[in-house]
Structure 1
Amino acid sequence: MKDWPDYADLLKGAEQLLERTPFPDDERLKAQLWKQFAMNLSQGYFLLFQSTPDHPEFAPFENSVFLAQPNPDAVYYYAPVDGRGTYRVTGERGNAPVTGFALGSRIIGMDPMPGKGLGNFDIDDLALDADGRFEVIFSTERPDGHQGNWLPMPPETDFILVRQFSYDWGNERDVRLAIERVDVASPIRPPLTSEEIDAKLTHLFAGYMRNLSGISIGAVQRCAERGFVNRFNLNSFQELGNSQDWPQAYFEAVFDIADDEALIIESELPDQRPYWNVQVIDTLWNQVEYVYRQSSLNGLQAAVDPDGRFRAVLSHNDPGIANWLDTGGNNHGMMIGRWYRCSSQPTPSITKVRFAELDRHLPEHSVRIDAQGRAEALRRRRIGSQLRRKW
C-alpha cells in the first residue's frame, strides 16, 4: 500500500493536457480544466468503489455535476459486471420516452480510449406487467428452464449501463432498478483488501482522471480537425464506445462565435420522432450549466415554427426567440443533437450572423418570447430538473 503523498504524485503530468486545448494560455480555460480534473476524481470514485462485479449496485454516471458531455435529458447508471456471470435486474419501467440497457467493455475513462459497445436493449421490448414492473436475466446463455425475460451478455462485457431520456422534466416517473449477481456463492460482500484499494486508487489518480479529460478534449479536437466548425456532421460516436445497434444518430458541430455574433440553427423534423434534442457544451466537452440556463432543448421543450421547421439561436444574450441556446459565456465549444429511433436523420444547417441583425435572417413567424415568458420557462426548467431522480 502506498503512502498518501505517493498517490498525489500520480496526478503530476496531467496538466500537460492543457496544451491539447485550442487556447492553452487562457486562464479561464485552465481553471475549467482543473475543475474537470476534480470532477473526474469524484466520478471515478463512484465507478471504482461503489460496487464490484460479484456484488454490483447501480451507481450514478455522468449525472448532474459530472458534466463530461452527458445528455441533459438523461440519467445514467453504471454497474460493473463479469460477462461470464449471471445477473438479475428487477425494476419498474417508469414513463420517460427512452429507457434501456447498454452493455460494453471499458466504459469511457477507464482506458485512454473507450472500449466496445456490446449491445443495446430497450426495456419496452421486455415483458412488463400492468404496472411496468419486470425482471430480466443477463447471461452468456439462457439459463436452463428460464422462461422469463432474458438478454444475452457477451463474455467480454464488464459493465451494464442504464440510460433514461426524459422530456417532461420532473413530471415523468423515473425508472427504478436493482441488480444482483445470482451465480455467486455468497451474497455477503467482503471488504476490499489493501491491495484492491491500492489498485483502484492508482487507477483513479494515474488513469481515470486524465483519461476522461483526454478523451473529452480529443472529441472536440477531432470535430474541429474534420472541418465541422459552424457546420453540422452526422456521427454515430462508435469511436467513443457506442455499439452498432444503438438506434441513435448524433449531429455535432464545433461552434466559434464572437461576442457580437450568433448562430442560427435550422432543421426539418422527422415525421416520427420519439425523442430528439440539442445541447451546448464547452471546449472541454463539458455540458454548459443546464439547470439555471437554457443550454439544451428537447422535442417537448422546443417550439416548432408554423412551417414545421425547428429554428434555434445560439448566442451569449437572450435573442427573444423561444428556442434560445445559451452559450454560457463560451465563444468556442460544441453543439450536439440526437435523433433517437426517428424516421429520418436530417442534418441541421448553421448560419453565422451579427446578433444585432438576427431579425433580418429569421422568418417573421419564428416563435418569439418576452422577458416574462423566458423567466417562466427558466423557472420550469430549474424546478423540473431538481425534481428528477439523478442519484
Structure 2
Amino acid sequence: MSRPADGEPFLPAWNTFLDGLRDLAPAMLDKLPAQLRDDPQTQHEIGRLLLGALAARSIEAIAGDGDHPMFLPSLNVVLNVFQPNADTVYKTAHITPGGTYRLRGRAGSLRIAKIGSMAPPAADGSIQASSYYDLNSLKTDEDGTFDALLSPTRPEDHTGDWWELDPRANTLLLRQVAYDWSAERDPVIAVERVDAPPTRARPDAADLARRLQALAPGVDRTATLLIDHVPQLQREGYVNKFKVWDVVSNYGGLFGQFYYECAYELQDHEALLIESDYPETCEYASLILTNQIFETTDWYNNHSSLNGAQWRLDTDGKLRVVVSATDPGVPNWLDTAGYPTGVVQGRWTDCSSNPMPSARTVAVADVAKHLPADTPRVTKQQREQIIRDRRAWFQQRPLW
C-alpha cells in the first residue's frame, strides 16, 4: 500500500482556511454604502453571495486539474457570482500552461458556443482572453461530432482541426449562449490532455494542502470583485442613464460583444422605459437585471431577462423594454423582483451597429401611453404560463 507523501497535518491547514474566511463578510459589507451595509436584508444577501463564491471556488479546489481536466460549472443561476448572463452556460477547465489538449463532442445548434483561453490576471488584476475558439467553425461528421486539438504549436503529423493555444493559458472558459431556449441544443464537449498519462495517481498531501490553502483567497477575490459595482455607477451619475462597460479588456469578455449598462433606482409605482434603435444585423442581443450587490436577478423564476428571440420589436423597428416591479402587461417586461436598486445591462454581439439606448422613468400606470398603440397586452394568466415555460426550458440546459 502506498504511503501518503509527507506534509503538514490537516487541522492547522483547515484552521488557516477558516481564518481566511472569518473576516470576509465584514470586508464585503465595508465596500458598500451605509444604507446597504446596515440593512439586514442586504446583509443576508451578502451571505448568499459569499456562499456562492465559496461553492464555485470549492468545485475548482476539489476537481481542478490541468493534467486531467474537465469542464466544471463556473457561474450560473445557482453559482451567481461575477453577474452571469441569463442565456449563457459558463464552464471552466483548468489546464497546464504549455500542454496539448484534445476536444471531442457534438456541436449542437447554438448561435454562440466559444471557448476562451485565459492567462493568469495581469498585475493590475485585469483578465483578458488570448483567443476565443468557435465550436461552430469546426468540421463535423453527419451526427455533429467534432475532434480538435489545442496546443502552443501544431504537431507535424496532425491533419485535423487545430487551434493555437497561448502557452501562458491556465484556464479554458466555455460560453454556451442560447437564444431560443425551447429549440436550440447545447454542445456536449470533453477535454483531455494528450501529452500526459491518462491515469491519475492518489493526490499527495502537499497537493491537497495547496488546494485548501488557495481556496480562501480565491473566495475572497470572487466575492468582492464586483460587489460595489452598483454604488460606483451611482457615484458616477449613471442612474437611469446608460454607459459603455469595457468587459472585454478588463474581465475576459467575449470578443465582438458590446456591453452597456446603468444603475436603476425605481419606486414601486415607477417604471424605466428603455428605447433603442436596432442593428440591421445582429448575432445576439439581450438585457438582464442585477440587484444592488451585482448578483444577476433571478431569471429562472421571474421574467427578468430578455434576448432577441424573446422580445418584440415595435412596428417602427425600435426596441422598447419596460423595467418595473409591477407587471405592466406588455411583452417586453423586465421584473425587478423586489429590488428597488440594481443594474440594467445589455449586450450587442457581432452586430452591424451598437446603439446606445435611452432610458426614462414613467409611472407604471402610464406605460401604455408611452408605447405604440399596437403594443400587445399580456394577461396575468399568460405571464404565468410564459414564466413556467421559460423555467422548464432553462432547466433542461446542461447547467451542471
TM-fit CA distance, 1:239: 4.8
Matched residue SS, 2:227: helix
Give the deviation of 1:237 after TM superposition.
0.8
C-alpha displacement of 1:361: 2.4
Kindly indicate whether residue 137 of structure 2 is the aligned counterpart of residue 142 of structure 1. no
Aligned position for 2:5? none
Q: C-alpha separation between the residues in 1 aligned to 2:353 and 2:315?
A: 20
Distance in 2 of aligned mates of 1:142 and 1:121: 15
1:10 match: secondary structure: helix
More deviation, 195-204/286-295: 195-204
Write the letter of the residue equivalent to 1:18. Answer: L
**Structure 1 Cα separation of the partners of residues 75 and 179 of structure 2:** 18
> Residues of 1 paired with 2:271 and 2:327: CA distance?
11
Q: Give the structure 1 partner of residue 71 of structure 2.
A: 58
Superposed CA deviations along residues 94-146 of structure 1, whole A, max 9, x for unmatched, are 001111111112479xx993433211121122222233221111111111121
Structure 2 counterparts to residues 1-391 of structure 1, below 5 A: 1=8, 2-3=10-11, 4-14=14-24, 15-22=26-33, 23-68=36-81, 69-106=83-120, 113-184=125-196, 186-205=197-216, 207-242=217-252, 246-391=255-400
Quick check: 93-102 or 1-10, which moved more? 1-10
- Displacement of 1:381 in angstroms is 0.7
Q: Secondary structure at the match of 1:76?
A: strand
| Rounded Cα–Cα distance in structure 2 between residues aligned with 1:224 and 1:152 | 42
Question: C-alpha distance in 2, partners of 1:71/1:250?
Answer: 11
Amino acid at match of 2:327: D
**What amino acid sits opposite 2:134 in the alignment?**
D
Q: Which amino acid aligns with 2:17?
A: Y
User: What residue identity is the alignment partner of 1:194?
Assistant: A
Q: 1:218 to 1:156 in 2, by over 3 A?
A: farther
> What amino acid maps onto 1:66 in structure 2?
L
Change in CA separation of 1:256 and 1:179 when aligned onto 2, cut-off 3 Å: same
Is contact 1:21-1:283 (8 Å) kept?
A: no
Normalising by structure 2, report the TM-score. 0.92
Q: Where does structure 2 lack aligned partners over 5 or more consecutive residues?
A: 1-7
CA distance in 1, matches of 2:90, 2:317: 32
How many angstroms apart in 2 are the aligned matches of 1:352 and 1:167? 28
Q: Deviations over 1:295-350 (max 9, x none)?
A: 10011111222222111111011111111101111111111111111111111111
Question: In the aligned structure 2, how far is the partner of 1:335 from the partner of 1:11?
Answer: 31
Alignment coverage as a number of residue pairs: 386
The superposition leaves residues 227-263 of structure 1 with CA deviations (integer Å, 9 ceiling, x where unpaired) of 32211112331354326x7011111111111222110
Q: Which amino acid in the other structure matches residue 212 of structure 2?
A: L
In 1, the alpha carbon distance for the partners of 2:234 and 2:142 equals 49
Amino acid across the alignment from 2:282: R
Question: Relative to 1, partners in 2 of residues 1:218 and 1:196: Cα closer, same or farther, differing over 3 Å?
Answer: farther
Structure 2 letter corresponding to 1:80? H
Q: 1:79, CA displacement in angstroms? A: 0.4
- Contact 2:329–2:377 (Cα < 8 Å) also in 1: yes
Alpha-carbon distance in structure 2 between the residues aligned to 1:103 and 1:256: 37
TM-score w.r.t. structure 1 length? 0.94
Q: Aligned partners of 2:399 and 2:250: how far apart in 1?
A: 23
Q: Aligned with 2:208: secondary structure?
A: helix
Which amino acid letter does the alignment assign opposite residue 53 of structure 2?
A: N
Query: Deviations 1:253-302 (Å, cap 9, x if unpaired)?
Result: 11111222110011111111121111011112111111110110011111
Contact 1:83 1:153 in 2 (8 A): no
Alpha carbons 2:71, 2:93 under 8 Å: kept: yes
Q: Which runs of 5+ in 1 are unaligned?
A: none
Q: Is the 8 A contact 2:248 2:255 kept in 1?
A: no
Comparing 315-324 with 4-13, greater Cα deviation is found at 4-13
> Structure 1 residues 33, 181: closer, same or farther in 2, change over 3 A?
same
SS in 2 for 1:35: helix
Name the CA distance, whole Å, in 1 between partners of 2:318 and 2:225. 34
> Aligned letter for 2:287?
V
| Deviations 1:203-238, CA, capped at 9 Å, x for gaps | 222x12221121121433443343322111123313
Contact 2:287 2:344 in 1 (8 A): yes
Once the two structures are TM-superposed, the CA of residue 66 in structure 1 deviates from its matched residue by 0.9
Structure 1: which amino acid aligns with 2:85? Answer: N
Q: Alpha carbon RMSD of aligned pairs, Å?
A: 1.9
Aligned counterparts of 2:279 and 2:32: Cα–Cα separation in 1: 35
